[in-house]
């Protein structure tokens, strides 16, 4: 079996869905599992719904209607008959959303988040599955929440591999075209969980691991893995082949083409990963597989925007020792800060973090009891693999360098725009 993952950009409108059908016609669809994300910017739109719910905003119903209208327009462009069963199926999903928001009393933001935002994937796969059947491509719609089991760490759930393996082995029919949702799972009480933003790649890897798949292909709007994000760097070039190790390094430092969790399960079973273009599906793209000889021969650039640089120093000028660092990391974990860079000296300790859950104010209040806390917000963290003096100049010109750290293969620089 092959596993294909199509992200939100590939199914953002009716033409995109038709193009996914075209891709399958060109590359084959027998014995394939499709993992599909929410359409376009649906996840962001549902986050607005969640915000309006907790703010008790009068705009709540209007924000739900906006998401519903977006999907309904896609339906009208795909199906001539408004009496087609897909209209009722999608309508029920949105009706159930309204019922949930009226009935739930939970103050747990992360729990509510997962129950609501997950509907983006449920709607997208419902539409794609119905459309494929409509044009003669028979398929089986699979509810991933019945297969991937996790703990109840909402918004960043941890997979229960044993239970998931058993469910997937029983629940996926081989030789069929199966369509399921990325990003989602469920806990022991069958409440929906999510695997972290951009977790659909990880979903594809979970299925591939459990099915002993032949390969995983991630279909993107770029020709493959590039040495830099073309939104931020000119003259980005395609990496034709890279090793699992290099791909894991790039993903760890923040390369957005491949989700950081995706590669470990594939590497364990040496399942090759391909990153290809859904615009030109017959092009070779990038292959990720075993082999130390697959290192890029060019510098690779990664940038993380909107980062937070936190610097701590002792109040009495004493050394920051192992016990202090241990305590700091426990707090960073507690407040769910994603650490991207660490630097310490005798009396100071700095970390560059991604405060994706908005917990810094609480963390700062706790840290301030023991340390002097200074910070810079809205900084950029640049990582250069296989760096050179020329590549360093590319990211530092015209910027203030706050932190610079070098290892054998990797250079990391935290910068601030000069006002």
Query: For residues 302 and 254, is the Cβ–Cβ distance under 8 A?
Result: yes
Q: Please indicate if the annotation marks 327 as binding a ligand.
A: no
According to DSSP, the β-strands at 241-243 and 286-289 are: parallel
The residue among 4, 73, 83 whose CA lies nearest residue 42 is 73
DSSP-based three-state secondary structure for 201: helix
Q: What residues are paired with 376 via a beta bridge?
A: 309
According to DSSP, the β-strands at 32-36 and 410-417 are: unpaired
DSSP-based three-state secondary structure for 191: coil
Name the one residue in this structure whose structure tokens are 């935290």: 414
Sequence-distant (6+) residues with CB within 8 A of 357 are: 155, 335, 336
Distance between CA atoms of residues 417 and 410, nearest Å: 22
Q: Please indicate if the annotation marks 214 as binding a ligand.
A: no
Query: For residues 352 and 341, is the Cβ–Cβ distance under 8 A?
Result: yes
CA dihedral for 9, 14, 18, 24, sign (positive or negative) = positive
Identify the DSSP state of 140: E
CA dihedral for 100, 87, 44, 206, sign (positive or negative) = positive
The residue among 240, 352, 334 whose CA lies nearest residue 296 is 240
For the chain, how big is the Rg over CA atoms in Å?
23
The residue among 299, 250, 310, 298 whose CA lies nearest residue 275 is 250
Distance between CA atoms of residues 69 and 77, nearest Å: 13
Identify the DSSP state of 137: -
The residue among 45, 261, 257, 269 whose CA lies nearest residue 150 is 261
DSSP-based three-state secondary structure for 280: coil
Q: Which residues does the annotation place in the binding site?
A: 121, 231
Q: Which residues does the annotation place in the binding site for ATP?
A: 231
Q: Which residues does the annotation place in the binding site for substrate?
A: 121
């Amino acid at each position: 079996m092959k596993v294909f993952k199509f992200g939100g950009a590939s199914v953002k409108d009716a033409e995109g869905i038709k193009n996914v059908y075209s891709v399958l016609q060109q590359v084959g669809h027998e014995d394939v599992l499709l993992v599909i994300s929410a359409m376009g910017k649906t996840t962001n739109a549902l986050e607005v719904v969640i915000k309006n719910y907790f703010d008790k905003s009068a705009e709540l119903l209007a924000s739900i209607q906006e998401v519903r209208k977006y999907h309904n327009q896609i339906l009208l462009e795909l199906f001539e008959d408004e009496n087609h069963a897909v209209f009722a199926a999608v309508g029920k999903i949105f009706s159930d959303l309204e019922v949930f928001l009226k009935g739930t009393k939970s103050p747990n933001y992360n729990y509510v988040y997962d129950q609501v935002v997950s509907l983006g994937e449920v709607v997208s796969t419902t539409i794609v599955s119905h459309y494929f059947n409509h044009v003669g491509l028979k398929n089986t719609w699979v509810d991933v929440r019945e297969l991937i089991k996790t703990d109840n760490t909402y918004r960043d759930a941890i997979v229960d591999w044993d239970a998931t393996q058993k469910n997937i082995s029983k629940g996926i029919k081989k030789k069929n075209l199966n369509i399921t949702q990325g990003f989602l799972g469920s806990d022991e009480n069958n409440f929906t969980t999510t695997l972290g933003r951009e977790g659909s790649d990880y979903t594809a890897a979970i299925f591939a691991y459990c099915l002993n798949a032949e390969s995983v292909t991630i279909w993107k709007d770029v020709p493959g893995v590039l040495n830099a994000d073309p939104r931020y760097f000119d003259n980005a070039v395609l990496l034709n082949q890279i090793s699992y190790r290099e791909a894991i390094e790039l993903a760890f430092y923040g390369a957005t083409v491949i989700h950081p969790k995706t590669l470990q399960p594939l590497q364990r079973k040496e399942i090759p990963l391909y990153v290809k273009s859904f615009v030109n599906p017959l092009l070779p793209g990038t292959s990720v597989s075993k082999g130390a000889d697959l290192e890029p021969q060019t510098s690779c650039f990664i940038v993380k925007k909107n980062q937070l640089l936190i610097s701590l120093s002792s109040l009495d000028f004493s050394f920051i020792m192992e016990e202090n660092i241990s305590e700091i990391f426990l707090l960073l974990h507690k407040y769910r800060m994603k650490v991207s860079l660490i630097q310490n000296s005798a009396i100071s300790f700095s970390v560059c973090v991604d405060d994706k859950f908005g917990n810094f104010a609480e963390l700062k209040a706790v840290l301030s009891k023991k340390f002097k806390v200074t910070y810079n917000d809205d900084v950029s963290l640049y990582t250069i693999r296989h760096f050179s003096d020329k590549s360093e100049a590319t990211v530092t010109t015209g910027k203030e360098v706050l932190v610079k750290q070098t290892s054998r293969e990797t250079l990391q620089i935290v910068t601030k725009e000069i006002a």
